Amino acid sequence: MRAALKGLHSPDIEDLEKYCPESQKFCFLLQAMVGPASQEGTESFDIVVCTPQWLAEHCKHDEVLVGRHHLIVMEYNFGRIVHTLQSLLEQCTGETWEEVGQKVSRIGKWEFEDYVP
């Protein structure tokens, strides 16, 4: 089974394709809708997209950051973001969707991350 990017959404940006940030200091939540390539259905994986300039401005000088669930870009280029996510997802394979989802959750926070029935 292989992961496939089936949609992108942001609660912060109305139109991701037409978005033009006012400066190179930006940060927003990107929700990747991902599901099995050969089946219907998706689950949400949250990714924070930001620039190094935004990080520098919003982090304390002595702070140490872990980059999990972040996509750090030098500029806003929607096509490049989509291509990068698709390339990363091609590497997320497994016997079950649970295995695949665990690998995808390294890229974005899975809506079912740490879920215990």
pLDDT, mean of residues 5-34: 96
- Is 96 domain-assigned? yes
Q: Please state the domain count of the chain.
A: 1
Cα distance between the two ends of the chain? 23
- Is 115 domain-assigned? no
- Is 67 domain-assigned? yes
In the chain the beta strands, taken as DSSP E runs, fall at 3-9, 27-36, 43-50, 70-72, 109-110
Q: Given pLDDT bands bounded at 50, 70 and 90, which one contains residue 64? A: confident
Cα–Cα dist 46/69, whole Å? 7
- Is 116 domain-assigned? no
Judge whether residue 60 has pLDDT over 90: no
- Is 117 domain-assigned? no
Residues 111/43, Cβ–Cβ less than 8 Å: yes
The boundaries of the domain holding residue 47 are 3-110
Q: Give CA torsion, residues 28, 32, 110, 95, to 10 deg.
A: -160
- Is 45 domain-assigned? yes
Judge whether residue 70 has pLDDT over 80: yes
Q: What percent of the chain has pLDDT over 90?
A: 81
pLDDT, mean of residues 73-79: 97
Convert the pLDDT of each residue in 88-99 to its tens digit: 999 999 999 999
